[in-house]
Amino acid sequence: MRKNMVENAESNGYKILAVDDEQGIVDSLSIFLKRSGYDFTGVTDPVQAIELVKNEHFDMLILDFMMYPLHGDQVVEEIRKFNKELYILLLTGHKDLAPPLETIRKLDIQGYCEKSDKFDQLLLLIESGIKSIEQMNEIKKINAELKDTQDQLEKAFLESIQTLRYTVEAKDPYTRGHSDRVSEYSVLIGKKLGLSDQDLKTLQIGGLFHDIGKIGVPDSILLKEDKLSDDEYSQIKNHPSIGAHILSNATIFKDIIPIVLHHHEKYNGHGYPSQLAGEDIPYFARIAAVADTFDAMTSKRPYRNALPKEVVVEEIEKNKGTQFDPKIADAFLDILKDEYDKIEEIQEKYPS
């Protein structure tokens, strides 16, 4: 080990445990992460890693997939029996050696990347994970401080929503106005479908919060005006899962998590992150998907102007039954036909 030769950066307070049966990898991670300010522990024995997680607090676990005597997914399976919250990143020697996507989802592994002699991609994943952990810690703090009365619960609920929303809006200028409009459009659709006041409130809050996971997307990708690479687009596609993970520890957010997690699913099963299809997609998420796509088409973006109403109507018609729930799409098309003044009021209130 060369740890005595490493000039550590000032600690940022976050503890990372890494396990890899190659001592050289552990040593390299130690140097790299300590220089980045992390409190690092590295081991080569996966069984020892499980015991460390049982007996100590770590904010993040980085582990190799192919190890002896336990593979990485077996290590995670054991850890998830007693720790559901630990943020986990998996390293693979090659994409072909990564565990199946179903396993990654089942074990709640937040991300994985290929091993490399350079750690740039890994550092981006770690930084994104730390941002998510920061938000989870803040939500835990809020949840712990909530009182039993309904008024106090409501007040803390709204304050926490606004605090996190403003964090994302400061990071991503496109989100300013977008989330407000998606929220309002979702409520319009909900009213058209005859939903209850409580359901409308869930749609409203879910719309405001649907892109909160962008807090975990690197700024270099989120703010990029050129076309994204496949790898960058894959990281953008993580934002629903990141958002759901951020909110998962607060019971006050349980009703809106399906919106946050599944608003990019498609009716034909070709969406993300779970490739759900038809009525397997949560109902409110299907509503938010229509509202979100409509706003994307009618907002000016760096690479194109807002699309005219007739083109948008044509696109929604064309994608009924493939991208959108047909009944929800029809309800929104009725709004565009008969109540377009309400759409214009929302756009004037929250300009893009």
Closest CA to 19 of 61, 55, 58, 56: 61
Closest CA to 210 of 233, 177, 185, 244: 244
Residue recorded with tokens 């409110």:
284
- Say yes or no to pLDDT of 4 above 50: no
Q: How many CA atoms lie within 13 A of 97 on its CB side?
A: 14
Residue 86: predicted pLDDT: 92
pLDDT at 1 over 70: no
The pLDDT score that the predictor gives to residue 19 is: 94
Give me the helix-helix angle, 326-338 and 309-318, nearest 10°.
160
Look over the chain and give the mean of its residue pLDDT values, rounded to a whole number.
86
Of the two residues 93 and 138, the one the predictor is more confident about is 138
Work out the average pLDDT over 308-333.
96
Q: What does the H/E/C string look like for 244-276?
A: HHHHCCCHHHCCCHHHHHHCCCCCCCCCCCCCC
At residue 302 the predicted structure's pLDDT band, cuts being 50, 70 and 90, is: low
Q: What is the mean pLDDT of residues 24-50?
A: 92
Distance CA 337, CA 331 (A): 10
Alpha carbon distance 336, 296 (integer Å): 15
Torsion of CA 31, 34, 40, 46, to 10 degrees: -20
Taking CA atoms, 252 is separated from 215, 219, 288, 295, in Å, by 20, 29, 19, 27
38: nearest Cα among 70, 15, 59: 15
d(CA 215, CA 245): 12
Residue 110 to residue 156: CA distance in whole angstroms: 28
**Higher pLDDT pick, 212 / 321:** 321
Task: Give the strands of the sheet with 87-92, arranged side by side.
Answer: 39-43, 15-19, 60-64, 87-92, 111-114
pTM of the model: 0.60
Report whether pLDDT(329) > 90: yes
Token pair 């090659």 in the structure block, residue: 94
**Percent of the chain, pLDDT > 70?**
86
For residue range 117-131, what is the model confidence (pLDDT) as tens digits?
A: 777 888 888 988 898
Fold of 3-117: Rossmann fold (3.40.50)
Sorting pLDDT into bands at 50, 70 and 90, what band is 132? confident
| Least confidently predicted of 22-26, 114-118, 231-235 | 114-118
Domain ranges of the chain: 3-117, 148-349
Q: Over range 219-238, report the average pLDDT.
A: 82
Residue 95's pLDDT is 62
**Residue 88 forms beta bridges with which residues?**
61
- Predicted confidence at residue 297, as pLDDT, reads 93
Taken as a whole, the chain contains a residue count of: 352
Predicted pLDDT of residue 137? 85
Confidence of residue 6 (pLDDT cuts 50, 70, 90): very low
pLDDT at 35 over 70: yes
Please enumerate in sequence order all residues whose Cβ is within 8 A of that of 274, keeping only pairs 6 or more positions apart, or say none: 105, 261, 262, 265
CATH of domain 148-349: 1.10.3210.10
Q: Which amino acid is at 143?
A: N
Per-residue pLDDT band at 230 (split at 50, 70, 90): confident
**Would the pLDDT of 136 be above 80?**
yes
Question: What confidence tens digit (pLDDT) does each residue in 260-296 have?
Answer: 999 999 999 999 999 999 999 999 999 999 999 999 9
The fraction of the chain above a pLDDT of 90, given in percent, is 49
Identify whether the C-beta of residue 333 lies closer than 8 Å to the C-beta of residue 159: no
Cβ contact 210:179 at 8 Å: yes
Question: What mean pLDDT do residues 303-326 have?
Answer: 92
Residues that are catalytic: 214
Q: How far apart are CA 139 and CA 160, in angstroms?
A: 8
Residue 224 is predicted with a pLDDT of 76
77-114 pLDDT, tens digit per residue, is: 999 999 988 999 988 876 666 667 777 888 888 887 87
Give residue 218's pLDDT. Answer: 81
Identify which has the larger pLDDT, 200 or 13: 200
Rounded to whole angstroms, the Cα distance separating 165 from 215 reads 9
In degrees, rounded to 5, the angle at the alpha carbon of residue 175 between the alpha carbons of residues 268 and 247 is 70
- Tell me what pLDDT residue 8 has: 56
User: Which pLDDT belongs to residue 196?
Assistant: 96
Q: Could you tell me where the DSSP H helices lie in 146-229?
A: 150-171, 175-192, 197-209, 219-222
Mean pLDDT for 141-147 is 68
For residue 51, what pLDDT is reported?
95
